[in-house]
Amino acid sequence: MTTAARQDAAPLTDAIIVALSKLVDDAQADSYREPSHSEIQVQINRAGLSSADPNQQGQTLGKAKRVRAVLHWAIENDAKAGGKFVFSLLGHIRGCGGFRPDSPNYAGDAVIRGAVDAFSTEGFVLGVDGVLSRKVLEGLVGAELTEALEGYVRRAKKGVADAALLTGTSKDLLEATAAHVLVSRYGGYSSRNNFPTLLGQAFVALGMSVPNDAKDDTPINRLDRGLFEAACAINTLRNKQGTGHGRPWVPTVSDALARTAVETIGLVAERMLNVLRGTN
End-to-end CA distance of the chain: 31
| pLDDT tens column, 9-49 | 688 999 999 999 999 998 876 778 999 999 999 999 999 99
pLDDT of residue 243: 43
CA–CA gap between residue 190 and residue 179 (Å, rounded): 9
Contact 201, 189 (CB under 8 A): yes
- Lowest average pLDDT, out of 6-10, 145-149, 262-266, goes to 6-10
pLDDT of residue 152: 81
**Which sequence spans correspond to the domains of the chain?**
2-135, 139-277
pLDDT at 78 over 90: yes
| pLDDT tens column, 114-146 | 999 999 888 788 888 888 877 767 667 888 888
Residue range 168-189: average pLDDT?
84
pLDDT of residue 6: 44
